[in-house]
């Protein structure tokens, strides 16, 4: 048993010691490196290859994976043109991703990797030998958009070389043997400029007629560190609990202006930050929370909760300062 464990550790160390061939464009010195760095598409493919290889090393480090990567490196180094380099990357990404053969693309797919109140769906249709049609919906809070594109099939994957009415947005769909699809975009090289603010198309997609993600809680979102505090908060705010969850599209830590060692989290909905926002402040013994929501006439209303009573006049300085950003008094 001990010998087997030592052999496994040696394998892991040797695999992680195998350096991915990611190009450092600040130190590019060879013709191949400079060619990649001066071509946005090749630079994106190099970055994607590195991300995928490191993920595969983490999930399933095997000698076969290292062998495939080494063989790909050798084929890449023989390239002397943009087209050869591009083709080598697609071949290599397909090889190390271990794509699912004869994949069934048809259906509605949901992004399971995005934040609360954000999402993405892809409807694949008209799948043929060399192409498949994609209809995409992407959103984050109230920011949303829809896109349509034809994807070209190559090496078991699907590639969108241009989305209609976008700025140089490319997508790579990689079907996995677990039945999911991993999507990579050239976000830093054009795609992000075309997406709604805060929305991302990248992620792990699964086929489903409805959103397959589990219903979020303030604990699952990381706003409360333990389920006990989450349960106390739920009891405190009652029916408003879901309204706090439905405000947690973007959530960040804020300073504790009262200097009592409290954790403070501010949250809001993208596209409605002044109309749909909330704050939670808590210590091991006490909780304070407030949210602002506008009515149908556009008038903002404050809802305040505290384990020390719901008198707004006794609101901690941290919440009072936050409140001034949204209400006049």
pLDDT in tens, 251-267: 999 999 999 999 999 99
Express each pLDDT in 201-221 by its tens digit: 999 999 999 999 999 999 999
CB neighbours of 208 closer than 8 A, spacing ≥ 6? 108, 109, 110
Instruction: Give the pLDDT score at 40.
Output: 92
This prediction's pTM: 0.89
Instruction: Give the pLDDT score at 131.
Output: 97
Provide the pLDDT confidence category of residue 21 given band limits of 50, 70 and 90. low
Residue 49 has pLDDT above 80, yes or no: yes
Asked if 34 and 23 touch (Cβ cutoff 8 Å), the reply is no
Distance (Å, whole) CA 39 – CA 42: 5
Nearest alpha carbon to residue 283 among 318, 313, 252, 314: 318
Share of the chain above pLDDT 90, in %: 79
Residue 239 has pLDDT above 90, yes or no: yes
Angstrom CA distances, 132 to 110, 183, 243, stand at: 17, 15, 40
Helical axes 63-77 vs 2-17, angle rounded to 10°: 20
Say which residue the tokens 């040797």 belong to: 14
Nearest alpha carbon to residue 308 among 235, 236, 214, 215: 236
Instruction: Give the pLDDT score at 190.
Output: 79
CB neighbours of 221 closer than 8 A, spacing ≥ 6? 116, 245, 248, 251
Mean pLDDT, residues 270-279 taken together: 95
Instruction: Give the pLDDT score at 7.
Output: 45
CB neighbours of 119 closer than 8 A, spacing ≥ 6? 110, 111, 137, 138, 139, 211
Instruction: Give the pLDDT score at 328.
Output: 66
Nearest alpha carbon to residue 52 among 92, 112, 109: 92
Share of the chain above pLDDT 70, in %: 93
Asked if 194 and 143 touch (Cβ cutoff 8 Å), the reply is no
What is the chain's mean pLDDT, rounded? Answer: 91
Residue 232 has pLDDT above 80, yes or no: yes
Nearest alpha carbon to residue 300 among 263, 260, 329: 329
Mean pLDDT, residues 226-242 taken together: 97
Express each pLDDT in 72-103 by its tens digit: 999 999 999 999 999 999 999 999 998 999 99
Instruction: Give the pLDDT score at 4.
Output: 47
Provide the pLDDT confidence category of residue 165 given band limits of 50, 70 and 90. confident
Provide the pLDDT confidence category of residue 5 given band limits of 50, 70 and 90. very low
Q: How many CA atoms lie within 13 A of 99 on its CB side?
A: 24
Identity of the highest mean pLDDT range in 95-99, 171-175, 194-198: 171-175
State the Cα torsion 183-189-194-198 to the nearest 10°. Answer: 70
């Amino acid at each position: 048993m001990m010998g087997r464990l030592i052999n496994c550790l040696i394998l892991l160390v040797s695999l992680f010691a195998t350096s991915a061939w990611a190009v450092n464009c600040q130190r590019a010195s060879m013709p191949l490196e400079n060619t990649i760095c001066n071509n946005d598409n090749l630079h994106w493919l190099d970055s994607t290859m590195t991300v995928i290889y490191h993920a595969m090393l983490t999930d399933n480090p095997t000698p076969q994976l290292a062998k495939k990567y080494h063989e790909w490196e050798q084929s890449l180094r023989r390239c002397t043109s943009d087209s050869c380099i591009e083709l080598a990357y697609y071949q290599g990404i397909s090889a190390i991703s271990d794509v699912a053969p004869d994949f069934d693309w048809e259906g509605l797919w949901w992004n399971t990797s995005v934040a609360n109140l954000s999402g993405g769906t892809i409807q694949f249709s008209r799948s043929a030998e060399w192409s498949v049609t994609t209809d995409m919906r992407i959103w984050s809070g109230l920011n949303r958009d829809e896109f349509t594109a034809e994807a070209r099939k190559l090496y078991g994957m699907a590639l969108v070389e241009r989305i209609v009415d976008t700025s140089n947005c490319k997508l790579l769909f990689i079907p996995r043997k677990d039945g999911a699809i991993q999507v990579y975009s050239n976000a830093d090289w054009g795609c992000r400029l075309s997406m709604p603010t805060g929305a991302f198309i990248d992620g792990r997609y699964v086929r489903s007629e409805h959103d397959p993600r589990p219903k979020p809680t303030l604990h699952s979102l990381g706003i409360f560190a333990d389920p006990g505090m989450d349960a106390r908060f739920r009891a405190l705010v009652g029916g408003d609990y879901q309204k706090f969850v439905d405000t947690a599209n973007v959530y960040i830590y804020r300073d504790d202006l009262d200097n009592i060692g409290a954790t403070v989290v501010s949250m809001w909905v993208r596209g409605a930050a002044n109309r749909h926002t909330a704050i939670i402040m808590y210590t091991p013994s006490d909780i304070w929370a407030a949210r602002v929501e506008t009515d149908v006439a556009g008038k903002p209303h404050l809802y305040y909760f505290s384990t020390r009573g719901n008198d707004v006049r006794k609101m901690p300085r941290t919440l009072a300062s936050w409140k001034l950003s949204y209400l006049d008094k």
